[in-house]
Structure 1
Amino acid sequence: MTRDHNPVAVVAGGTAGVGRATVDALIARGYRVAVLARGEARLAQMQQELGAQIWTRALDVSDGDAVMRAASDIASDLGAPEIWVNSAMLTSFSTFDMVDEAEFRKITDTTYLGTVNGCRAALSVMAQGNIVNVGSGLAYVSVPGQAAYCGAKHAVRGFTQALRIELAREGRPITLSMVQLPAVNTPQFDWARNRLDRHPQPAPPIFQPEVAARGILRAIDQNAREILVGRSVLKLLIGNILFPPLVERQLTEMGIETQKSDRPDTDARDNLDGPHPDISARAHGGFDARAKDDGITLDSDAARKTLAFGGAAALLGLGYLLGRGLTSGSSPKVEAREKPDRHPASPAYRRPTEYRV
């Protein structure tokens, strides 16, 4: 039989930060969104706020069987999803020698294997559409103090490319994208395990979660292979290609310091072993006053073509731009004022809203 209903999307890690901003953006487009997350209290809060616009399931994305069951139930209750966003993550702000095997494994299981589990579950129920794996500029350039998280994001990038090629070989009408994010003002910095001597912060420049959500929607709209959000991510990518020793030298000097705020860390609780009990289902963290509301989103293939075919002038210009950021006496991610978002409103999204069930 056929029935009319809102198109369906899934956001794993959808109760806070970039995931929550993405849920709100998809609802604004008319989607009914299935939200997967560990925190039952935050899911209940979102259900109260958004009602029938969302479907919720409390689970840990590192549990592959639980994610598969959720996917089956989503397809049964709502219809086959045509969008699946993997945004769940964990990290700790700690040097490697302070992170034991259990902690390292937990971060890896959630950030990397959680993405793998999400893709497997999505492919089990999706006939067509888009899967988006949320990445980071740290998938290209790692920073000290987050070895487990950086390793997981590098792994997500490698996994995503391999799976994308397999889907293309099979001719499946599913686009697999990765969106590489800059430092974002999310609750991550209020609930991550922290062994720094100050409260952690996103390494400037800082962007609001809505900027990241727009990058995710652009990846969906354009069936993009990879989207870079913020000029700081572009600089990291180019720097890693052209000047890796310089990037590592700057990170050796400033990589830890740029992750420290000027506030003392007074909350010893974290979300590594379970949801933080006192943080609500919100997109924004505690750095609203410093976070930018807009930023460029760029197709990474276009950036690479510029490097490959832009000639000596383009390379010199990019090198000069990067050099200014790296020699300004601060983090290699610190940059001049961002240009306004060239894509403040995403194109109309035209996909079928009927499903055969």
Structure 2
Amino acid sequence: MAKVAVITGAGAGVGRATAEEFARQGYNLALLSRNKDRLNKAVDELESCYGIRALAIPTDVADAKAVERAASATEDELGPIDVWVNVAMATVFAPVSELTPEEFERGTQVTYLGQVHGTMSALSRMRKRNRGTIVNVGSALGYRSVPLQSIYCGAKFAIRGFTAALRSEIIHDKLKVHLTMVDLPAVNTPQFDWAKNKMGKRAKPVAPIYQPEVPARAIFFAATHKRREVWVGFPTVRAILANRIAPGLIDKYLATAGYKGQLSQEALPVNAPANLFQSVSGPYGAHGRFDTKSRTGSWEMFTDRHKSVLLAVVGVSILGIARLAFGKK
């Protein structure tokens, strides 16, 4: 019998790519997002290409009751949920001084509380069966914040705290439920075209950029292997580790580079779409407009899959450095 996965934010971006990766691996799917048309298109494509069953459930993850209804509908139609993946997000490109309390509230409800709601609905069912996996999707920006993305960064920091607290509770209760987190780099998704933007210039991801299939593969790997956390891409590793060493220096660097790196020279189109409070219509898919600038693979996933090999390589490197530093005088 095919396993069942629920993917939030499945209408576009990383969520859409993740849905395809799970479908490729033979999972039946429940796809959650606000846009019914994109969900229905995804269902048609995934069922025809991979021969799996897929269920479109239009859902605003900021609404806990709606998420709970989606979880019940999934199990009624497809069976017990084996994997729940929390991907949905919403944000605004703007400095704090230009944001409203309502924008902060909405972005936090979707990006942070959406993952809380999904986790709670999944865990309540997995707890009874004492099995299952929950994947929370984080970001390098959940370790090292950048200007113009305070809503998103705050939410991703919160997800880390929530996930860590819950992990200890799962261990305390001796549950055989796996909780993991996948932290992403800059990804080529439609968010840079439809996220609310108050900067007057089109937003762009900070290079290097990865295609959404890269985090999708990492998410599937995290869901099917016992890893506490997976970091995707060297920029994620660099941001996390560098912030531990010299956070003050990075603050000053980002005061300039954090603006230039996230804004193109293209003027923001008049009446540019903004998906914060309502879904944006249109033929959006997994990819954004940066296909020619995006990488299709991540060497760093190798490090997580082959830790023993990496440790051996690092050990040999350290020995070599030590011999050079402390060799014959």
Summarize deviations over 1:220-259 as a string: whole Å, max 9, x none: 2322111000000000111011111221121112101100
SS at match of 1:184: coil
Q: Following the alignment from structure 2 to structure 1, what is the Cα–Cα distance between the partners of residues 267 and 315?
A: 47
- Counterpart selection for 2:141 from 133, 138, 141: 138
Contact 1:135–1:178 (8 Å) recurs in 2: yes
Aligned to 2:286: 283
Give the AA of the match of 1:83.
V
Aligned to 2:28: 32
Q: Is 1:271 aligned to residue 275 of structure 2?
A: yes
Write out aligned runs for 1:141-220 (5 A). 141-220=144-223
Structure 1 outlier segments of 4+, above 6 Å: 309-312
Aligned to 2:9: 13
SS at match of 1:155: helix
Give the AA of the match of 2:78.
L
Q: Following the alignment from structure 2 to structure 1, what is the Cα–Cα distance between the partners of residues 258 and 119?
A: 32
Deviation at 1:313, TM superposition (A): 5.3
Q: Following the alignment from structure 2 to structure 1, what is the Cα–Cα distance between the partners of residues 25 and 92?
A: 34
TM-score, length of structure 1 as denominator length: 0.82
Q: Following the alignment from structure 1 to structure 2, what is the Cα–Cα distance between the partners of residues 167 and 144?
A: 35
Give the AA of the match of 1:38.
R
Q: Following the alignment from structure 1 to structure 2, what is the Cα–Cα distance between the partners of residues 50 and 210?
A: 15
TM-score, length of structure 2 as denominator length: 0.88
Give the AA of the match of 1:30.
G
SS at match of 2:165: helix
Larger displacement relative to structure 2 (203-212 or 214-223): 214-223
Change (3 A) 1:123 1:95: same
SS at match of 1:35: strand
Contact 1:72–1:125 (8 Å) recurs in 2: no
Q: Following the alignment from structure 2 to structure 1, what is the Cα–Cα distance between the partners of residues 62 and 226?
A: 27
Deviation at 1:263, TM superposition (A): 2.4
Aligned to 1:231: 234
Larger displacement relative to structure 2 (24-33 or 35-44): 35-44
Write out aligned runs for 1:1-357 (5 A). 5-51=1-47, 53-126=53-126, 127=129, 128-266=131-269, 267-280=271-284, 282-295=285-298, 296-297=300-301, 298-299=303-304
Quote the RMSD (CA, aligned, Å): 2.3
Summarize deviations over 1:284-323 as a string: whole Å, max 9, x none: 00000100001122549x79x98xx979959x99xxxxxx
Aligned to 2:327: none
Q: Following the alignment from structure 1 to structure 2, what is the Cα–Cα distance between the partners of residues 189 and 29?
A: 29
Q: Following the alignment from structure 1 to structure 2, what is the Cα–Cα distance between the partners of residues 223 and 101?
A: 39
SS at match of 2:201: coil
Contact 2:194–2:272 (8 Å) recurs in 1: no
Q: Following the alignment from structure 2 to structure 1, what is the Cα–Cα distance between the partners of residues 74 and 175?
A: 21
Deviation at 1:262, TM superposition (A): 3.1
Summarize deviations over 1:86-132 as a string: whole Å, max 9, x none: 00000110000111000110000000000000000101222312100
Q: Following the alignment from structure 1 to structure 2, what is the Cα–Cα distance between the partners of residues 310 and 275?
A: 50
Contact 1:75–1:125 (8 Å) recurs in 2: no
Q: Following the alignment from structure 1 to structure 2, what is the Cα–Cα distance between the partners of residues 312 and 242?
A: 21
Contact 2:20–2:46 (8 Å) recurs in 1: no
Contact 1:130–1:223 (8 Å) recurs in 2: no
Aligned to 1:354: none
Q: Following the alignment from structure 2 to structure 1, what is the Cα–Cα distance between the partners of residues 57 and 254?
A: 40
Q: Aligned pair count? A: 307
Contact 1:13–1:19 (8 Å) recurs in 2: yes
List gaps (5 residues or longer) in structure 2: 323-329
Q: Following the alignment from structure 1 to structure 2, what is the Cα–Cα distance between the partners of residues 98 and 256?
A: 15
SS at match of 1:121: helix
SS at match of 2:202: coil
List gaps (5 residues or longer) in structure 1: 318-357
Deviation at 1:269, TM superposition (A): 2.1
Give the AA of the match of 2:198.
R
